[in-house]
Amino acid sequence: MRAFIAGLPKAELHLHIEGTLEPELLFAMARRNGHALRSESIEALRAAYAFDDLQSFLDIYYEGAAVLRTEEDFYELTRAYLERAHAETVRHVEISFDPQTHTDRGVPFGTVIDGISAALDWGREELGMSCGLILSFLRHLPEEAAMATLEAALPYRDRIVAVGLDSSEQGHPPRDFVRVFERARAEGFRVVAHAGEEGPPDYIWQALDLLGAERIDHGVRALEDAKLVERLRTEQIPLTICPLSNVLLKVFPEMAAHNLPELIAAGLVVTINSDDPAYFGGYVNANYASIADALGLDRSQLAELAAASFRASFLPDADKRAHLDELAAYVKASP
């Protein structure tokens, strides 16, 4: 099964670039940028990666992201992720980035996006991957700050496919961001939003009806609301599920308790993603392997999840078809 997953063509649609910052690179950047760290060693830092919930993770994640200062830092971070993704037969990625995490520390928006974009261009040319960029607003900050971020992004409009909403979910409902998403849609951005990770199903309704989300990041709590499941099923609104993240952040007590089989059985479009792989113990193939092991998914189910990842992407239809053809040929040729 590991070999089958390793060669399975797939897309990754829920990936925070700041969440790919491995401790080794984090330490190297801290050293060269003269940034003091609380942890004395890479081992001590890794040992601190034990989380009780989303917020306890976010505190460490934002602290880690503070080592990123220069365009070169963002380039190196993004290139390292693309190399790993390529090695895991990821054909297409839609990468989220959190500009406010950096602009609030005085790093210009242009520095962040120029570094990331240069690496994406490298990935397109050298690895033959296709890449999209999703600008994610931090929901623990006010809507005015999100609006200022959207305005800062407009000169870079052609490099960004979608806007999203992430960070602390509880107490920060999508309804607080209606105006900024309205403006983003008017500017032609596609829309995704984190909802139903820790927050209630009502936040998923709000993401759909008030923000115009075309895809829900996580969304695992949808199963608590039968009407919502019906809506997601009839409109085939994709969920970007991150199994290792959900277990590490205690959304589920263990992988065997994940509700992925129920989401699939309900007829929902579900995809498998790594969220913040440097913090959750594995990249996208480890996520596929963990659900295969703990939930007993077979090859055809894994292939269907990979197919859904292409269908749920923001790629043009012709590109989706080409990836689905490659995937079908791979499955047929697999012993």
Catalytic residues: 197
Exposed, middle or buried: residue 281 (CB in 10 Å: 0-12, 13-18, 19+)?
middle
Closest CA to 257 of 224, 295, 288, 228: 295
Size of residue set near ligand ADE by CB under 6 A: 11
Q: How far is the CB of 10 from ligand ADE (least distance, A)?
A: 19
What distance in Å separates the CA atoms of residue 44 and residue 175, rounded to the nearest whole number? 39
* Alpha carbons 108 and 329: distance in angstroms, whole number: 45
- Nearest-angstrom CA–CA distance, 330 and 27: 39
In the list 9, 19, 23, 277, the residue contacting ligand ADE (rule: CB under 6 A) is 19
Shortest spacing between CB 54 and ligand ADE, in angstroms: 6
CB 207 within 8 A of CB 230: no
Nearest to 150 by CA among 159, 165, 163: 163
Strands (E), 182-264: 190-195, 215-218, 239-241
Which of residues 8, 9, 15, 16 is near ligand ADE by CB under 6 A?
Answer: 16
Which partner, Zn ion, ligand ADE, none, binds residue 197 by CB below 5 to 8 Å per kind? ligand ADE
Burial of 85 (0-12, 13-18, 19+ CB in 10 A): buried
Nearer to ligand ADE, 51 or 109 (CB): 51
Any contact of residue 98 with Zn ion (CB under 5 A)? no
Q: Taking the complex as a whole, how short is the minimal distance between the CB of residue 172 and ligand ADE, in angstroms?
A: 10
**Binding characters for ligand ADE, 137-176, by CB under 6 A (x = yes):** -----------------------------xx---------
Q: Which of 275, 307, 313, 320 binds Zn ion (CB under 5 A)?
A: 275
The site string for ligand ADE over 182-211 (x = CB under 6 A, - otherwise) reads ------------x--x--------------
Least distance from Zn ion to the Cβ atom of residue 221, Å: 14
- Residue 19 DSSP code: G
Residue 189 · residue 165 · CB < 8 Å: no
Q: How far is the CB of 327 from ligand ADE (least distance, A)?
A: 27
Rule CB under 6 A: which residues touch ligand ADE? 16, 19, 54, 61, 166-167, 194, 197, 245, 275-276
